[in-house]
Amino acid sequence: MNNEALTGLYVNSPRIFRIADRLTLSRPQKIFLRNLQGSSPAFVISGIFNNSITSQLNHLVICEDGESAAYLHNSIENLTEGLDIFYFPSSFKNNRNYRILNSSHVMLRTEALTKWGMGGNKKLLVTYPEALFE
């Protein structure tokens, strides 16, 4: 079974429809999914991202740390082949020294925020708490 077939199963899943339905409510929703193993978070998020109910919504995914956010971003990007999926890292080289900037991360952040602010297609931003803290 290839990625498209697996992603199709998730997009058409009743559970994904329930999650997507909650996301379209007028009040902001916080949804916490637990006990997802392996690549299943990437499949669930890509299923929600590609769902017709959430076709006009932007999505923000907050992971535990930078490494898990980078892996999740890469997996979702490979599953959806989406161009509007962005990784939003911290600007700094490490969390202990806030004086040394990582120029490639600064460029990723700038690109993500610029595209996020533009209208048009729905977007997905994958990040982690330290990056949002800035």
Give yes or no for residue 19 having a pLDDT over 90: no
- The two tokens of residue 113 are 């925020």
**Across 23-27, 77-81, 115-119, least confident range:** 115-119
Confidence band, pLDDT 50/70/90 cuts, at residue 54 = confident
The SS3 of residue 5 is helix
Give yes or no for residue 120 having a pLDDT over 80: no
Give yes or no for residue 31 having a pLDDT over 90: no
Average pLDDT, the chain: 81
Confidence band, pLDDT 50/70/90 cuts, at residue 108 = confident
Our CA dihedral for 86, 91, 94, 97, rounded to 10 degrees, sits at -160
Domains and CATH numbers, the chain: 3-25+35-133 (3.40.50)
- The two tokens of residue 51 are 């769902």
Tell me which DSSP letter residue 92 carries.
B
**Rg of the chain in Å (alpha carbons):** 15
